[in-house]
Amino acid sequence: MTIEKGQSLWGDAWQRLKKNRLAMVCLGLVILFTLLAIYGEGVFRYYDFRDITPSYQKVNLDDAYQPPNMMHWMGTDGLGRDVMARLIQGVRIAYMVGIITSLIAIPIGVFFGCLAGYFGGRVDDFIVWLYSTFASMPGLLFILAIAMIVGKGLLGIFLGIGLTTWVGICRLVRGEVIKHKEQTYVQAAKALGLSSGRIIARHILPNIMHVIIVTFTLRFPAAIGTEVFMSFLGIGVQGEPSWGLMINSARMRLWQGMWWEMTFVTLAVFLLVLAFNLFGDALRDALDPRLND
């Protein structure tokens, strides 16, 4: 496939994505979960502002253990709380973790990757040593250590995941910058006397932005999975309906035949992670110029 005259890289990528039905289905799922996260945030802020106990936190033992029905589409848990309302709040927390940890990890990785790739020499040696040291540490234990120092809750999750997952994108950006700094347009910018910072920010970064965006789509579900696991262990979110906490509470009731909470939460995690991963793979293929044949 050849790019038409005047068509941008992103325009061509969108045309390629539209022909991939699986990618479009995954994009639809991502949009659906995004809307649910926005709705969940609105509900959370509304009830917090009104100082009213929301339905996902309201205990009503008379409604406990109800299977899916017209009043509660996904049933209720052991305290009579609506599973669907709590699941939507779990989407909100999952998106918060994915976005905020990305805002921590990606700038760190891009900054060090650009420095290492562009300047080389001792700067490159130091940064390679730095990310190699981080990569050699057991990731989960490092995250747990940071979370335990900061304390239980979302802040520990944000810092733990954000400060330990920048290595991958740093490696990618470093390799891309090494490749681009030898290109003619960068050499011309150097000949014009532009500063290194301006060359990196105005010339190199826009040409590797697709790598950063694809990396975001692939690390987003990984961050969500880590948060679910940490909340399952009781180290993550406290006092809010995280998916990890819901799975932890639901597993104790499976032997009693209370299947709905575990089923719907597990299905939500599976669909969100799968949609992001498949869409990220499709986006990477669509943005790869080597596939434009």
pLDDT reported for residue 117: 92
pLDDT of residue 24: 94
Angle at 132 between CA 128 and CA 133, to 5 degrees: 120
- pLDDT by residue (tens digit) across 160-173? 888 888 999 999 99
Structural domains in the chain plus CATH codes: 9-291 (1.10.3720.10)
pLDDT of residue 87: 93
The radius of gyration of the chain's CA atoms, rounded to the nearest angstrom, is: 23
Residues of the chain predicted below pLDDT 50: 1-3, 5, 293
Name the helix (H) or strand (E) containing 5: none
Question: Phi and psi at residue 179, in whole multiples of 5°?
Answer: -70, -45
pLDDT at 289 (0 to 100): 57
